[in-house]
Amino acid sequence: MKRIVMLYADAGGGHRSAADAIAMGLRMLYNDRYEIRYVNGFKRLPSLLRNADTDYPMWVNYARVLYALGFHASNGRRRVAAIRKAMESISDPVADELVRSEPASVYVSCHPIYNGAIPQAIKRQGVDSKFVNVVTDLVTGHVAHYVPYVDQCIVPTEEAREEAIENLVPPEKVSVTGQPVWPDFRTRMGTRTATREQLGLNDTTPVVLLMGGGDGMGALGVTGREIAFSNLPLQLVVVCGRNQNVKRDLEFINPRVPMKVLGFVNNIPELMGAADILVSKAGPGTIAEAFIAGLPILLYDAVPGQEEGNVNYVTNRGAGAWCPIFPSAVVKQLKLLLADPQRLSNMRQASSKLAKPDSALDIARIVAHFAGD
């Protein structure tokens, strides 16, 4: 049995979700032909760096200016090359050990930290393995995503393809598939009536789904409070993810609209199927899922650097609106949309046109090709 190793990180949840979606695609298409293993290489780093991925929400929520400075200061080909050179004494032994201990026909990278070190480790050890990197940022990914000597670079959009080629990845090595999303997402959406009944929501009032990614990042709490006290004709479902502080705060208030507060959930397809509007930070996975559900998207926040381009991607195509800085901007936009059914319908259609529900299956086929099948 050939082995495929999924390389991921726990930075925000999106990288692991992408790996899960691709693995599911492989199993749906090829049953048990491959042994699929997950490896988080961060946990093999020296102790001072071992929790760098799980510290990501802290940087985004509480040190955003520093995070933005770090992203932009390192976002260049020469700067990335210099950083990789400076880190060789740490990264090369870790990469060599990973390739030795986790031999594979194909390594599938869902985080840019692997894209320089693992292909070089494969070459140093002379093993017959392939390396495929999956770019998990819609438009403005970090330059570290793009490495010319990978076997294939899989990107979600044409904009990301242009960025890959600009960063010296040969055009024939770049495939555009869409953001990897669970391949059964559309079928799992089910019927909105059944899901609303399970949540105790009625079937006549519009449902607004508020999310902040798996870690409940950004201005999720204050945005939830603003909508909860808005008196608008809507029902609100808030997914707080792993952010227990926000969940407790929202459960404590006395909302003026019907509201359900959830923690970390595994039924996002069902929730999106029951919703009429999504309010979210500009996470690429959530946006891609909303396209499949045909939801208008109101974006209230974007992580500096990698999520900034997602805002333009959504708004320039008519699939949503940008409501930054003040939570009241979200409420104002919701009021306008609820009063204008035609605009809401136009946004739904624009969102649906951007959907790529088979993205994970397409990626799985590429991975299988490099596994020799």
Mean pLDDT of 291-320: 94
Instruction: Report the phi/psi class of residue 73: left, alpha or beta, with left for phi > 0 and alpha for psi in -120 to 50.
Output: alpha
Mean pLDDT of 67-86: 89
Structural domain 185-353, CATH architecture: 3-Layer(aba) Sandwich (3.40)
How far the first Cα of the chain sits from its last, in Å, is 12
Whether domain 2-183+358-370 has CATH 3.30.750.24: the reply is no
As a whole number of angstroms, the distance between CA 31 and CA 24 comes to: 10
Mean pLDDT of 117-131: 95
Give me the residue spans of the domains in the chain: 2-183+358-370, 185-353
Give yes or no for a contact between 5 and 102, defined as CB atoms under 8 angstroms apart.
yes
Tell me the pLDDT tens digit for each residue of 262-281. Answer: 999 989 999 999 999 999 99
Which pLDDT does position 68 carry in this prediction? 87
- Flag the least confident range among 1-15, 262-276, 283-297: 1-15
Confidence of residue 369 (pLDDT cuts 50, 70, 90): very high
- Flag the least confident range among 30-34, 65-69, 89-93, 284-288: 65-69
Per-residue exposure over 163-189, b if at least 16 CB sit within 10 Å of its own CB, e if not: bbbebebeeebbbbbbbbbbbebbeeb
* pLDDT at residue 59 tops 80: no
Which pLDDT does position 14 carry in this prediction? 85
The alpha carbon dihedral of 151, 25, 268, 107 has a sign of negative
**Proportion of the chain above pLDDT 90, given as a percent:** 74
As a whole number of angstroms, the distance between CA 10 and CA 133 comes to: 17
